[in-house]
């Protein structure tokens, strides 16, 4: 029975380490999105993340490219160059007022590394505290 309990505890520990923090992901997006981009919507399912953004009409490609580069650098996203799905113009009385861009990317599933390195920086303190308690238990510190 001791082996059964030990096995259960190991599985529980691994599952806690592999929890995804949505608050950390949203904080990361908030930190890397250029100020000229308005985030219209986010949709997340499994490890897919769809971002719909509104861009100003001036320098929209430069601004969008900056965001795409930041996504590529993020450790929380598995960005691919083809993740930009669509750009379409927002017209009002035949005048372009701005652009909508849709980005579909993947969220990294390397949760253990992300949780160890980025949770405090990204403000996910609840999960970070639980993982620190787990580390202390593993190390035999009360």
C-alpha 142/C-alpha 136 separation (Å) is 7
The string of pLDDT tens digits covering residues 125-136 is: 777 777 777 777
H or E stretch including 13?
Answer: helix 2-17
Q: Is 60 exceeded by the pLDDT of residue 142? A: no
Calpha distance 131→139 (Å, rounded): 12
pLDDT in the model for residue 140: 67
pLDDT in tens, 82-114: 688 889 988 888 788 899 999 998 888 777 777
pLDDT value, residue 3: 80
Give the model confidence (pLDDT) of 31-86 as tens digits.
Answer: 899 999 999 998 888 788 899 999 999 999 999 999 999 998 888 888 776 688 88
Which of 17, 8, 46, 6 shows the shortest CA–CA distance to 132?
A: 17
**Token digits of residue 111:** 């949760």
């Amino acid at each position: 029975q001791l082996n059964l309990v030990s096995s259960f505890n190991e599985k529980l520990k691994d599952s806690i380490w592999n929890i995804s923090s949505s608050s950390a992901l949203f904080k990361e997006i908030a930190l890397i999105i250029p100020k000229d981009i308005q985030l219209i919507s986010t949709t997340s399912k499994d490890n897919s993340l769809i971002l719909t953004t509104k861009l100003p009409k001036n320098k929209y490609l430069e601004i969008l490219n900056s965001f795409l580069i930041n996504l590529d650098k993020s450790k929380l996203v598995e960005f691919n160059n083809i993740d930009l799905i669509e750009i379409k113009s927002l017209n009002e009385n035949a005048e372009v007022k701005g652009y909508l861009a849709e980005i579909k990317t993947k969220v990294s599933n390397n949760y253990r590394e992300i949780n160890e390195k980025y949770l405090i920086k990204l403000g996910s303190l609840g999960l970070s505290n639980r993982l620190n308690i787990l580390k202390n238990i593993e190390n035999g510190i009360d």
